[in-house]
């Protein structure tokens, strides 16, 4: 049964006394200072969220770079700084750069980035420092599947695009962000 509140009595001890059918309960009255502190904490938490959102935006490539990557069929990747650049198929989803490994070889680029996520990408002859981040989101992976099939839709490429949508390749979905 819900307590029945009768005209609360604000006593000198700062406690609101509430009468109930079950038992007597006491609830501390919040001072205006406490309310101000709670409001301040809410504002600070919102500010942290907006700063972290801004930080995420800062960890993306500039729009011009993303547009160039989206227009290109092949992106150059280099794991670390000792390897050579290799070409991989690339797609852009939500202004984010994604690639997948087709062959998933133990000595391939995917495992190189798993050992050391820092490397570089090369687009139209411009080398940019990048970091590889493994993607776990099924929503993004589904969107990337569709993007591969739309972008690489010629008769010769469609077979490989379908392979890039296989479960083995989906598990290698990697996003590249600036470092």
Residues 42 and 56 sit within 8 Å (Cβ to Cβ):
no
3-state SS record for 44-80: HHHHHHHHHHHHHHHCCCCHHHHHHHHHCCEEEEEEC
Rounded CA separation 47/23 (Å): 42
Residue 33, both tokens:
């200072």
Please state which CATH number belongs to domain 63-178: 2.30.110.10
Give the largest CA-CA distance in the chain: 85
Per-domain residue ranges of the chain: 9-58, 63-178
Q: Looking at residues 48-62, what average pLDDT do you find?
A: 61
pLDDT tens, residue by residue, 145-159: 999 999 999 999 999
Helix (H, G, I), strand (E, B) or coil at 43: helix
pTM above 0.75, yes or no: no
């Amino acid at each position: 049964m819900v307590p029945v509140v009768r005209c609360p009595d604000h006593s000198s001890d700062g406690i609101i006394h509430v009468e109930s059918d079950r038992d007597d309960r006491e609830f501390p009255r919040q001072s205006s200072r406490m309310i101000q502190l709670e409001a301040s904490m809410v504002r600070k938490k919102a500010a942290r969220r907006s700063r972290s959102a801004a930080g995420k935006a800062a960890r993306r490539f500039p729009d011009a770079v993303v547009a160039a990557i989206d227009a290109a069929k092949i992106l150059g990747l280099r794991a670390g700084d000792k390897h050579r650049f290799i070409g991989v198929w690339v797609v852009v989803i939500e202004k984010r750069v994604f690639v997948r490994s087709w062959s998933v070889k133990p000595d391939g680029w995917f495992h190189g980035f798993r050992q050391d996520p820092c490397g570089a990408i090369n687009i139209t002859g411009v080398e940019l420092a990048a970091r590889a981040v493994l993607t776990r989101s099924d929503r993004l992976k589904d969107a990337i599947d569709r993007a591969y099939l739309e972008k690489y839709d010629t008769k010769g490429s469609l077979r490989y695009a379908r392979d890039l949508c296989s479960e083995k390749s989906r598990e290698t979905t990697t996003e590249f962000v600036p470092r």
